[in-house]
Chains A and B, each alone.
Chain A
Amino acid sequence: MSFLSIRNLSVRLKKGPSLLRRVSLDVAAGEVRGLVGESGAGKSMIGKAVLGILPPSIEVTGGEILLDGVDLLQLPPAQRRKRIGATCALIPQDPLTALNPSHRIGPQITDRLVDILGWTRPDAETRARELLAEVQIADPDRVLRSYPHELSGGMRQRILIASAFAAEPKLIVADEPTTALDVTVQKQILKLIAGMQARHNTALLFVTHDLGVVSKVCQKLSVLYAGMVVEDATVADFFAAPRHAYSAALLAATPKYTDPSAGLQPVPDAVIAAVQAEVAAFDKGLAHG
């Protein structure tokens, strides 16, 4: 039984176009699933739907999001919030904007433990110190007393990772956790996330553009195009033989995995046209059924 199971989730702009088209995917406990697709495909939208932070201009039109067997969409807002807060966490994309500039680091890690999960403050502080050590921050006590602007981007991302693991969540959504960082730091952060995930045995939904990252970190993979899942496979199967034409083209477009000398190939127009036809057919089906 998967910890997270999304069934036929459809999401659209209020009275506007569909953004997710009957998306289904599963993340088992302790498993890492990659979510790839071009910009605007709806990757972040899935993460937001799971965490209950869809913008107010967007509505869910159908489907289920089962978290530990309970459909989040059927819960009243307050209960849904508590459930998500207790079992899930987010590692955001941009560490520079994801920490509150007017609070010190300490409370930003510990407050949820105290407020939502009912820990005592000393316990929470001890936990925060352990976590900062675990994400290899040298001087945890000083950092806990700092304001975000006093720390580098890499350090802030480490802190956000520590904070995400603080309450031992069952599921973490990482939305392109390295794209905003310096290339030299990216690798370290990636390693850190993978290591933490393995040690804590947390399920991870990993949003990325980068198939190279997927091959290193993930066990399963969903490929998204225009809000539609066009391929759902294990990483091994996918790199051996992608089933969908679009996935194949995507794989071909990423030089490292075929012939490095070939350079970056654009996804052929014919393939794009074919997937677009698929999407159109899907929308038509929606309109009729």
Chain B
Amino acid sequence: MAEAKPLDGRSLVRRRAGLRLWLSAGWLALLCAVALLAPWIAPKDPLAQDLFLGRLPPFWVQGAEPGYWLGTDSLGRDVLSRIIHGARVALTVALVAGTITCLVGASLGLIAGFLRGWVDLVISRLIDIWMAFPPVLFSILLIAVLGPGLLSIIIAIVVIDWTRFARVVRAEAMAQGAMDYVASARVAGRGRLGTMVREILPNVLPTIVVLLTLEMGIAVIVEAILSFVNLSISTDDPTWGGMISEGRTSVHQAWWVLVFPLITLFLTVLAFSQLGEGLKDRYDPVLR
């Protein structure tokens, strides 16, 4: 009888977690659509400057110009259109950098955790060294080396963040490797690689997927931070971080140049992370 009815509190939590999953997935889907359709739905050309229309406020404020819904920046560029086009960079970085980081980090972690021995020793030492670097400074340094551009950002994120996956997956692969089912697979004649891919990988997969979602949010932030210190893409191209950087300097004259990209960035980062947390609560036995 007691088992049949779940406790009120718990079902409430589950409902809230479900809502959280749907809201964040919804926002990200909307963002993807906007990014794909950017050239068609952006009301203005994101690069078009018009010094006569500089610092126009958003539509509900006195002095707004029709058509420029969220106002313009100091060069007269349309804020809404720049946000819409900025979504392309943000999502490209999130998806590409997130995925590659995941592949590299998870493979290294899996290899270290399963093979043990000197391979593990080397990889663990590398992880230790990486953890001793301040990550933001490291990324800025890498961009200085690689030169600005989308590809550089992606490389920088992969180089810096692979440890996030490697650490967790290594520990998990070790724990799983010690379990009986792995030993019996080995006894049954599976090779090392076979055991790793067929027996261990499926068990750490939920963990990896959750980390991937979180990493995508981090990638968006890293891109914004690099744009903020003027190291991301060329300065004209619309990126959220670049817009924020510009908005920060003119925040007293034109708050909207900072506020709208900031809200978009905030919601996107929140959505990625809540998606990850939601998936974690629902599917992942490891990360709790």
Interface positions of A (Cβ within 8 A of B): 13, 15-17, 57
A13 CB contacts on chain B under 8 angstroms: 2
A16 CB contacts on chain B under 8 angstroms: 1-2, 5
B1 CB contacts on chain A under 8 angstroms: 16-17
Residue of B nearest to A13 (CB): B2
User: With A and B bound together, what is the CA distance between A156 and B95 in angstroms?
Assistant: 58
Known: A16-B1, A16-B5. 7 other contacts (CB 8 A): A13-B2, A15-B5, A15-B8, A16-B2, A17-B1, A17-B2, A57-B7
A17 CB contacts on chain B under 8 angstroms: 1-2
Could you show 9 A-B contacts with beta carbons less than 8 Å apart?
A13-B2, A15-B5, A15-B8, A16-B1, A16-B2, A16-B5, A17-B1, A17-B2, A57-B7
User: With A and B bound together, what is the CA distance between A36 and B103 in angstroms?
Assistant: 60
Interface positions of B (Cβ within 8 A of A): 1-2, 5, 7-8
B8 CB contacts on chain A under 8 angstroms: 15
B2 CB contacts on chain A under 8 angstroms: 13, 16-17
User: With A and B bound together, what is the CA distance between A73 and B1 in angstroms?
Assistant: 28
Residue of A nearest to B8 (CB): A15
The 6 closest A-B pairs by CB, nearest first: A16-B2, A17-B1, A17-B2, A13-B2, A16-B1, A15-B5
Q: How far is the CB of A286 from chain B (nearest CB, A)?
A: 14
Residue of A nearest to B2 (CB): A16
User: With A and B bound together, what is the CA distance between A16 and B6 in angstroms?
Assistant: 10
User: With A and B bound together, what is the CA distance between A16 and B8 in angstroms?
Assistant: 11
User: With A and B bound together, what is the CA distance between A15 and B7 in angstroms?
Assistant: 9
Main secondary structure of the interface of A (DSSP, over half): loop
B5 CB contacts on chain A under 8 angstroms: 15-16
User: With A and B bound together, what is the CA distance between A57 and B7 in angstroms?
Assistant: 10
User: With A and B bound together, what is the CA distance between A13 and B2 in angstroms?
Assistant: 9
A15 CB contacts on chain B under 8 angstroms: 5, 8
User: With A and B bound together, what is the CA distance between A265 and B7 in angstroms?
Assistant: 39
Residue of A nearest to B4 (CB): A16
Q: How far is the CB of B166 from chain A (nearest CB, A)?
A: 35
Q: How far is the CB of B12 from chain A (nearest CB, A)?
A: 14
User: With A and B bound together, what is the CA distance between A90 and B5 in angstroms?
Assistant: 34
Residue of A nearest to B3 (CB): A16
Q: How far is the CB of B4 from chain A (nearest CB, A)?
A: 10
Q: How far is the CB of B13 from chain A (nearest CB, A)?
A: 15
User: With A and B bound together, what is the CA distance between A171 and B88 in angstroms?
Assistant: 73
User: With A and B bound together, what is the CA distance between A18 and B2 in angstroms?
Assistant: 10
User: With A and B bound together, what is the CA distance between A13 and B1 in angstroms?
Assistant: 11
User: With A and B bound together, what is the CA distance between A43 and B246 in angstroms?
Assistant: 70
Q: How far is the CB of A19 from chain B (nearest CB, A)?
A: 10
B7 CB contacts on chain A under 8 angstroms: 57
Q: How far is the CB of B6 from chain A (nearest CB, A)?
A: 11
User: With A and B bound together, what is the CA distance between A13 and B5 in angstroms?
Assistant: 12
Q: How far is the CB of A183 from chain B (nearest CB, A)?
A: 33
User: With A and B bound together, what is the CA distance between A57 and B9 in angstroms?
Assistant: 11
Residue of B nearest to A57 (CB): B7
Q: How far is the CB of A134 from chain B (nearest CB, A)?
A: 44
User: With A and B bound together, what is the CA distance between A17 and B2 in angstroms?
Assistant: 7
Q: How far is the CB of B22 from chain A (nearest CB, A)?
A: 28
Q: How far is the CB of B3 from chain A (nearest CB, A)?
A: 10
Q: How far is the CB of B1 from chain A (nearest CB, A)?
A: 5
User: With A and B bound together, what is the CA distance between A17 and B5 in angstroms?
Assistant: 11
User: With A and B bound together, what is the CA distance between A17 and B8 in angstroms?
Assistant: 15
User: With A and B bound together, what is the CA distance between A99 and B29 in angstroms?
Assistant: 54
Q: How far is the CB of A156 from chain B (nearest CB, A)?
A: 32
> Which of A13, A16, A57 is most buried by chain B, counting CB atoms within 10 A of its CB?
A16
User: With A and B bound together, what is the CA distance between A15 and B8 in angstroms?
Assistant: 10
User: With A and B bound together, what is the CA distance between A16 and B5 in angstroms?
Assistant: 8
A57 CB contacts on chain B under 8 angstroms: 7
Residue of A nearest to B1 (CB): A17
Q: How far is the CB of A217 from chain B (nearest CB, A)?
A: 34
User: With A and B bound together, what is the CA distance between A15 and B10 in angstroms?
Assistant: 14
User: With A and B bound together, what is the CA distance between A138 and B7 in angstroms?
Assistant: 50
User: With A and B bound together, what is the CA distance between A57 and B8 in angstroms?
Assistant: 11
User: With A and B bound together, what is the CA distance between A13 and B6 in angstroms?
Assistant: 12
User: With A and B bound together, what is the CA distance between A88 and B279 in angstroms?
Assistant: 48
